[in-house]
Structure 1
């Protein structure tokens, strides 16, 4: 299942060509960190619903506390209510349908009120001030930030992706360079496998050892059995 896999896709730049080719045939929901390339590509796409990350919006207001503590904390308190609802639903292990219903009942009024507040205050602060930047960021993306309410399978933020990316960010600071584009592609593949193992609570060394032992003899039609998301089910006993 795709929902138990992590993919690092290496590209030589950060322009539109990467996501455009990778997602050329995609239809469904994309959740991003608000990077402008996705807006340009998919904002008006008929088959793609673009949603954003509430955690990224929240961080802007954390930075804005020094600018206007009272108003920034108001926004943070409202966002905290949304996260408390998410935590409660996880504790109750609600399915997607019940998550959607709970969000519409409890999160919708908060989001509607907060969206109105953003609109009312978008010109109150200097655009270059921390508060002005936070409001502008959230107000511009508010439809996408609120869209998770409509889709029970979506999360309020993309922290799952952020957590998967963190080891790569730490490693990049240590070794700085991959050496070549080909090496970077292989590195991305290995990070994909390791992150997917972690996602499926699999020991990375045991998985690698088993894959290296079996991959030469396994039928190519059965290669899917070696994916971390399927490995436990098909691993020989």
Structure 2
């Protein structure tokens, strides 16, 4: 019979095999050596260096697609951004290990996710990637995004309500009554979001309901923050929670202006989870090149998941 299509020119693995190895690693967090143990028990012995090379070559065949994904994500008008560390093997650093960062860019409207590997957490990575971006960036309160906003006038900043809420939850032990008041008001905001999601409302309908129901609550909360800004010691949990929310209040309320926007950054934070599992299981990327490949593969896998596409079938087709 005819041989199956090869994913790699002159390579041994069929497209389905390479797809399965990729999915096992980047969706299920199964390290390559454990995958190879599994093959070995079935009588197929594959050297680790060979398998690593297959994955790298597989990535090179679909690299143009990653560049296209990047273009599409950056053409959006609304992105959620987050960052998370990743260890990378590098002989030039202490213990031969470098702490790099994965920056995540999630486009909620088209449900696409872009992972971008950078060697550090400073603003150079997002500043370069977002140089031509025009629209809204939704983030946690990390300072890099403020400087990004100052640097690029075409970027508007929106913040994550979940981060602000968390600080008031932590402050409950300090002043239960005040903290519970704020958290209770935020609960009403979240209940509105939940009911709109369940009803499958259009972007226009969501914007209208937020104007009618969310804005009065946010105005009341904003006034409460103004009134209580200096009511607590600045270093106390409540003082810090109020200062955090007060200094970001315009950005925390920004989501009400657009029906497409989310109240928080939870969707992009959910996209980090497979990387967190992988990080625990295979600990580090073998090189900076491998970290770039890892970013691309996580981009594809996360985008498949957000769109309900079977990752293995999609990769088999692409390879």
Q: Is the TM value for this pair above 0.5?
A: yes
Provide the C-alpha distance between the structure 1 equivalents of 2:263 and 2:127, rounded to a whole number of angstroms: 24
Aligned residue number for residue 296 of structure 2: 189
CA deviation profile, 1:182-219 (whole Å, cap 9, x unmatched) = 1111111111111011011111111111111xxxxxxx
Structure 2 portions without partners, runs of 5+: 1-71, 74-109
- 1:51 aligns to 2:158 (yes or no): yes
Moved more, 149-158 or 203-212: 203-212
Provide the C-alpha distance between the structure 2 equivalents of 1:23 and 1:70, rounded to a whole number of angstroms: 42
The equivalent position to 1:171 in structure 2, one of 263, 278, 281, is: 278
Structure 1 portions without partners, runs of 5+: 213-237
Contact 2:131 2:152 in 1 (8 A): no
TM-score under structure 2 length normalisation: 0.64
Cα drift, residue 46 of structure 1: 3.3
CA deviation profile, 1:131-178 (whole Å, cap 9, x unmatched) = 111111111110000000001110001111010012212322332211
Provide the C-alpha distance between the structure 2 equivalents of 1:88 and 1:156, rounded to a whole number of angstroms: 13
Aligned residue number for residue 233 of structure 1: none
Provide the C-alpha distance between the structure 2 equivalents of 1:96 and 1:208, rounded to a whole number of angstroms: 32
CA deviation profile, 1:76-135 (whole Å, cap 9, x unmatched) = 000000001111111222111111111011000100010111111111112221111111
- 1:32 aligns to 2:171 (yes or no): no
Contact 2:136 2:156 in 1 (8 A): yes
The equivalent position to 1:23 in structure 2, one of 130, 134, 139, is: 130
Contact 1:6 1:196 in 2 (8 A): yes
Structure 1 stretches (4+) deviating beyond 6 angstroms? none
Contact 1:31 1:53 in 2 (8 A): yes
2:117 partner SS: coil
- 1:142 aligns to 2:241 (yes or no): no
Cα drift, residue 180 of structure 1: 1.4
Provide the C-alpha distance between the structure 1 equivalents of 2:145 and 2:250, rounded to a whole number of angstroms: 14
Aligned residue number for residue 123 of structure 1: 230
- 1:8 aligns to 2:123 (yes or no): no
Contact 1:28 1:47 in 2 (8 A): yes
Contact 1:43 1:50 in 2 (8 A): no
Aligned residue number for residue 109 of structure 1: 216
Cα RMSD (Å): 1.3
Give aligned pairs, total: 212
Aligned residue number for residue 227 of structure 1: none
Structure having the higher strand fraction is 2
Cα drift, residue 44 of structure 1: 7.5
Aligned residue number for residue 148 of structure 2: 41
Structure having the higher helix fraction is 1
- 1:75 aligns to 2:178 (yes or no): no
Provide the C-alpha distance between the structure 2 equivalents of 1:170 and 1:146, rounded to a whole number of angstroms: 33
2:211 partner SS: helix
